[in-house]
Amino acid sequence: MDQTHIDALRAQPVPPFLHLIDGKPVPASDSGTLDVLSPIDGQLLTTTANGTAADMDSAIASARAAFEDGRWAGQPPAARKKVLLKWADLIEANALELAVLGVRDNGTEIGMAIKAEPGSAAGTIRYYAEALDKVYGEIAPTAPDILGMIHKEPVGVVGAIIPWNFPLMIGAWKLGPALAMGNSVVLKPAETASLSLMRMAQLALEAGLPPGVLNAVTGEGKVVGEAMGLSMDVDVLVFTGSGGTGRRLMEYSARSNMKRVYLELGGKSPNIVFADAPDLAEAAKVAAGGIFRNSGQVCVAGSRLLVEASIHDEFVAEVAKATEAMRVGDPLRLDTAIGAVNSETQLRQNLGFVDMALSEGGRVVTGGSRVLEETGGYYMAPTIVTGVTPDASLAQKEVFGPVLGVTPFQTEEEAVRIANSTVYGLAGAAWTSNLSRAHRMVRKVRTGVMHINTYGGADGTVPLGGVGQSGNGADKSLHAIEKYINLKTAWIKL
């Protein structure tokens, strides 16, 4: 990857994107389009089809027909594996194109995007391709004249609603296990970051995925997302995004066919630093990266920094030093550490949280404002706010932007109490040289993922899922397969 190649891809015009239904590009039924504005400069990048409920119904019908006739579910595991492996190869072969397209669409810095988006997606698809022929049924230990068998069958049609922050990575977390198990899928990408995911879906067809097995409809969530949620023909719905939308999807399930709904709803993750941390300078550098990469638009971002009072001032100064060394700028430059905020709406929301924090007694140590406004893009200086009490808005509400709230604590018990004082429970971390304390923190802090002396980087071999209002179910690892299968008992008298 070199800057010249990136600049050449940046210069290429992006054609309008249509729906992908039954293996073909299809315009919106009323020919409506949505403008795609690049967060890099605020300029029009391209358009996507502005889907209607009828478009979503058509895509779901295509997926249902494909599932029922067995063109994918009926293929032997070795055949499905071959297609998925070819798809992973194509994603890797087109990695830079996909990454640049995605950055132009959502603003993630290219150094992160190339690994976290096509790199991660290809690895995830390959992981589930290799796993699919190792999912066995079971024989029950029952009476000698009975054969009790447990079959694992695909659920049918899966609806997947994907967020804008990491569309390829999170999309692959849903698509990999769902398709590996023989299901058909309908994708609904985010309005503000559809392009790379739509391109990746096109590559699936090139790899040999039969038409109708993977469909994708772009458009507004309140229209096509609602149609998916209310459909009587979607068997499982998976979603990553906001709590408000997650609640509506559960309501849609209750109002329709009681489809299973799996939600990953973000968090307010605590990063807890004890005075006996093995390397405070390293902890400070990792803490800055754990909140400010991708402009804080990461569901597991360590947005609450809890620091033992005896080292508070020293440690905050180290984090500020690491933060100010992170260059904010054009996300398609290789020397940029922090790219653009996804949209002007998100930028305004982020700045509103800073104002709210100040009104509640917080103090801005660094950042706190919009930067590079002359570019027309959506950029924000990484922001550290101290004096954040456990009940403050900045400690309780997810910003989903580059804003770090700092809270001191006196004892381990107080740290645990503060860490568990929100409605969320997605991720967390603790920095300590005390092995017993490390194990206590893993057990006592209520999260789906708990890091010790690091933050982030957990790979596809382990699950990602939350507790509380961070959602249910898990992405990644073999455990994710459980969302996309039905268990069927066969009870046979011999």
Give the whole-angstrom CA distance, residue 6 versus residue 100: 7
Q: Where are the alpha helices (DSSP H) in 34-150?
A: 53-68, 77-93, 95-106, 110-114, 120-131
Closest by CA to 182, choosing from 219, 141, 228, 236, is 236
Half-sphere exposure of 394 (CA within 13 A, CB side): 34
Of 191, 264, 308, 318, which residue is the catalytic one? Answer: 264
Number of helices and strands in the chain (H, E)? 16, 21
Letter string b/e over residues 190-229, b meaning 16 or more CB atoms within 10 A of that residue's CB: bbbbbbbbbbbbbbbbebebbbbbbbbbbbebebbbbbbb
Q: How many residues does the chain have?
A: 494
Helix residue ranges per DSSP H, 107-213: 110-114, 120-131, 167-180, 195-206
CB-CB neighbours of 253 under 10 Å: 18
Contact at 8 Å (CB) between 447 and 463? no
**264 is known as an active-site residue:** yes
The catalytic residues are 264
